[in-house]
Structure 1
């Protein structure tokens, strides 16, 4: 049991130059890390009648031999993109949101010489689902003199103005009885703000995962196939589904099996709908489903307590083993 880290702030870096008072094109020198949306790719291999092996991204219509399907593991896409555009001697710094739900971004100067932001950096912005927001306009402090800058943008899912409402959640697994391995404030891994009110349900790989509450699929990661206790290798990766609720809270369903997401980004799901299959991916000791309800509290994610109903009635999560 353990929790993934698809909730920490993700950073992108951009650098540019000032030359003679005119802003010159910026160059992207750093990329966003984990927590975006990735699509699993497939490669097919087969042998023709002459014994020659072929590879392609589509299954052949009439193969002369059995076709082998080879998974291709792609890195997740970015949660957000920092875009800088020239405008009459200034730079407009935009944040583009790739998710089907709001995000918050914070723009910083990593380094700067003779440049300032309007508003001054660090500056925050909330970016709507799959939308864009102007975070700051950059210009020279002393016109006519050269300079340089480097920007860093942190991004986090959720709207910091979300107001959670009381709601009853359904048990997120298709099981007759829940097997709770770790509850609220679990000593093993539920001891940080974003996981303090998380629950780990033991479940055999392939157990149907159900939407605990109605909402919109905000993020999906379904292309990871490894697990272990190396934080360096697995701490930032796990297959998961993040669902946005109407009050701005977000439910995270993590450690799904490879290819175990049965929903797409932007899809609206109903409570009790099968959304995927449980697994054992990422930083984990064994097969289970990590479930947590989170809210953005201003560039930090915090888990919040929730009420949940199981097949036999209300569930309790005050387990700290």
Structure 2
């Protein structure tokens, strides 16, 4: 019999995870039940952590990871106090996509009109393409409001359209509007820095090559209007960008420059 002791529970989600998953804790007899809900239209990997853990026990032990399907709700852990004054602070991490997917070698179509772009940063761009999630990304410099086109068929799994601010300040990195499209091999295309209210699709939509997804802007960490495009996979609770090929009006884009 688990002792019915008083406890204090706190919970939080890191920046970005709140768009993908929701964490709630419910009392059930002498226990508490931590429940995660996938708020996206694709699979996500979630991890339940305890930043504070005093006089508590859980089943399963923390940290605990699992994959949630689109819209799935699941119990992550049952918690109970084992000492007077038991307390905990829970945190839920969430990463889109099935873990350890292998991206196929696909030639992507140019996601803007052929006559309306200039190639900016390519792979390993020194200004903002240094982290694992964006190391293999390309910036296509276009005018504000340029239509952004699907570079490959897929399903829209997440969008953001409510941010208005942008500038050359890394603190704005999380303020970029975007569309994320899941492909049938588990890889995901990220179309980022879209205009405020500049998203033309909804989560769950099936999109096709050349379809207008939204409109280019300069939201988030951005020095001017452009489209940031990357192919990413879930490398196990972390987003990892992968090399890709893209065809333009004069053949393959020199993304490795």
Q: How far off is 1:282 after superposition?
A: 1.2
1:34·1:237 contact (CA, 8 Å) conserved in 2? no
How far apart, in 1, do the equivalents of 2:98 and 2:27 lie?
28
The residue aligned with 1:98 is: 39
Gaps in structure 2 of 5+ consecutive residues? none
SS at match of 1:185: coil
Q: Please, what TM-score do these two structures have when normalized by structure 1?
A: 0.74
How far apart, in 2, do the equivalents of 1:186 and 1:146 lie?
51
The residue aligned with 2:65 is: 124
The residue aligned with 1:214 is: 153
The equivalent position to 1:266 in structure 2, one of 190, 204, 217, is 204
The equivalent position to 2:15 in structure 1, one of 5, 14, 33, is 33
Greater gyration radius:
1
The residue aligned with 1:189 is: 128
Q: How far off is 1:85 after superposition?
A: 2.7
The residue aligned with 2:184 is: 246
Q: How far off is 1:177 after superposition?
A: 6.3
Q: Are residues 1:256 and 2:238 paired?
A: no
SS at match of 2:174: coil
1:126·1:133 contact (CA, 8 Å) conserved in 2? no
How far apart, in 1, do the equivalents of 2:119 and 2:206 lie?
28
> What pairs up with 1:142-181 in 2 under 5 angstroms?
145-176=84-115, 178-181=117-120
The equivalent position to 2:235 in structure 1, one of 268, 279, 297, is 297
SS at match of 1:243: strand
Q: How far off is 1:207 after superposition?
A: 1.0
How far apart, in 2, do the equivalents of 1:106 and 1:218 lie?
19
Gaps in structure 1 of 5+ consecutive residues? 1-18, 37-77
Q: Please, what TM-score do these two structures have when normalized by structure 2?
A: 0.91
How far apart, in 1, do the equivalents of 2:9 and 2:167 lie?
39
2:9·2:88 contact (CA, 8 Å) conserved in 1? no
How far apart, in 1, do the equivalents of 2:91 and 2:14 lie?
10
The residue aligned with 1:313 is: 251
Q: How far off is 1:20 after superposition?
A: 5.7
1:155·1:299 contact (CA, 8 Å) conserved in 2? yes
The alignment covers a number of residue pairs equal to 256
Q: How far off is 1:242 after superposition?
A: 0.7
Q: How far off is 1:147 after superposition?
A: 1.6
Q: How far off is 1:251 after superposition?
A: 0.6
SS at match of 1:275: strand
SS at match of 1:235: helix
RMSD, aligned CA: 2.1
How far apart, in 1, do the equivalents of 2:152 and 2:45 lie?
23
2:57·2:79 contact (CA, 8 Å) conserved in 1? yes
SS at match of 1:124: strand
Q: How far off is 1:140 after superposition?
A: 3.5
How far apart, in 1, do the equivalents of 2:166 and 2:29 lie?
51
Q: How far off is 1:88 after superposition?
A: 4.2
The residue aligned with 1:65 is: none
2:17·2:92 contact (CA, 8 Å) conserved in 1? no
The equivalent position to 1:109 in structure 2, one of 33, 44, 50, is 50
Q: How far off is 1:115 after superposition?
A: 1.2
The residue aligned with 2:79 is: 138
1:21·1:146 contact (CA, 8 Å) conserved in 2? no
Q: Are residues 1:236 and 2:174 paired?
A: yes
Q: How far off is 1:106 after superposition?
A: 1.2
